[in-house]
Amino acid sequence: MKIALVTGASSGIGAAFVRRLDQLGGLDEIWGVARREGRMAGLAAQLRTPMRTLALDLTKMESVEALRALLDAERPEVAVLVTAAGFGKFGTCADMTLQETVDMVDLNCRAAVAVTAAVLPHMGRGSRVLEICSSAAFQPLPGFNVYAATKAFLLRYSRALRWEAAPRGIRVTAVCPGWVRTEFMDVARDTKNGRTVRCFPFALRAETVARRALRDSRWMAVTTCGLPALVQRAASKLLPHCLIMACWEGLRRL
């Protein structure tokens, strides 16, 4: 059985990947992982490809173990893995609660790596891993610090994993778009200081990110899915981070 597995599949970028994978075809099933089973059931009803909905909270290690056990029992061929589960919160260190901070690190970093480790044994030559990072990974971002740091971790993990998985013919791509028009902004603003970041220039549609990322993942180690994030990536290599942070401080207050 040939499948794709998508985390964060109930909404936003994850749901867009599910729809795009369905359009491309060639799969026996799509496995969607998220907490909101009702949302996934509604999405599954719109697809041509059968979708298995797995209501799991990936911040809990027992959920990852349940997913691993299911994979080991059914032994599917995982053609595509998309780790889209994650969230961000706007606010400085004085604004963030301890729980918000820990949950971001748990879901954006630990859960992504744990799911990848569980799925890799079921991938073979030609399989693809898409780790959903962010252009926030390219530089430190005051006021969006923890989220940017978690995505920097995932970017570095993805780049090294690409080398480690290459002998098996598995391609790993870090997907690093800029702002994407999803529920992400509403969740990010639901904090003590949700107006820390006020504007979202050049925001992409989630469907655009999914389409470009799946195309680019056939050969690229990192895709930004658009010109603004590509410029941001280049600037982070050429300019001192203190200068980039100063520019960010001005932009986020507009």
Q: Look at the alpha carbons of 48, 18, 55, 204 in this order and tell me if their dihedral is positive or negative.
A: negative
Note the pLDDT tens digit of each residue in 193-235.
767 777 788 889 999 999 999 999 999 999 999 999 999 999 9
Residue with structure tokens 């999405």? 43
Query: What whole-number distance in Å separates Cα of residue 235 and Cα of residue 146?
Result: 21
Note the pLDDT tens digit of each residue in 106-132.
999 999 999 999 999 999 999 999 999
- Assign residue 109 the CATH number of its domain: 3.40.50.720
Catalytic residue among 87, 147, 179, 184: 147
Q: Is 142:90 a contact under the CB 8 Å cutoff?
A: no
Phi/psi region, residue 26 (left: phi>0; alpha: psi -120 to 50; beta: rest), is left
Q: Which residues is 172 bridged to in the sheet?
A: 129
- Name the residue range of residue 245's domain: 2-251
Count up the domains in the chain and report the number: 1
Query: What whole-number distance in Å separates Cα of residue 195 and Cα of residue 178?
Result: 18
**Closest listed residue to residue 13, CA positions, set 188, 231, 228, 212:** 212
Note the pLDDT tens digit of each residue in 75-111.
999 999 999 999 998 988 888 899 999 999 999 999 9
DSSP 137: G
Per the annotation, the verdict on 157 as an active-site residue is no
